[in-house]
Amino acid sequence: MDEDIFRYDLMVETALRDVVKQTLKLVARHGLSDNRSLYITFKTRANGVKIPKYLFERYPDKMTIILQFQFWNLEVMEDKFLLMLSFNNVLESIAIPFEALTSFADPSVQFGLQFEQIASRNIAQKGEVSVEKNTPSLLADVVFLDQFRKKK
């Protein structure tokens, strides 16, 4: 047998992505407490990612979203999740396949995951949006939605 059919690396990564899926299902059902936020980084060019074109043009590689106070209509499916976020006071629908994820973190409990195997082989030729911002840590490319909100 020339090819190793036991791809433990991919099996483990798939299981860890399921941790993110189960977490998001809980969030969809129960919401988040005030002291909890979730950081989700994904490849914007990955197959199945749906984000507004203007965001992709600004951030063409990857984007980190933060689920904390202002997100709506979170729907978790078998292979992806959908939600609405506000950018410049405009609600935008986005879709993120679990295979597009590159990292997930819950800083309130110092929990984080990084993914590379599946995401790196499912990059589409064209993407629709990506966001990057430099911050040192596991959450290196975070987009803070406050930058899109009007100051009161």
User: Does any domain span residue 2?
Assistant: no
Predicted pLDDT at 143 = 54
How many separate helices (H) and strands (E) can be counted in the chain? 3, 7
What is the distance between the alpha carbons of residues 8 and 71, in angstroms, rounded to a whole number?
35
User: Does any domain span residue 97?
Assistant: yes
Angle at the Cα of 42 from the Cα atoms of 16 and 74, rounded to 5 degrees: 80
User: Does any domain span residue 64?
Assistant: yes
Predicted pLDDT at 87 = 87
Question: What's the domain count of the chain?
Answer: 1
| Residue 98 lies in domain | 8-148
* Both tokens assigned to 73: 């209509």
CATH number of the domain to which 30 belongs: 2.30.30.220
pLDDT tens digit sequence for 43-84: 999 999 999 998 888 889 999 999 998 899 999 999 999 999
- What ranges make up the beta strands (E) of 50-121? 62-67, 71-76, 80-87, 90-97, 101-106, 111-114
User: Does any domain span residue 76?
Assistant: yes
pLDDT above 50: residue 12: yes
User: Does any domain span residue 125?
Assistant: yes
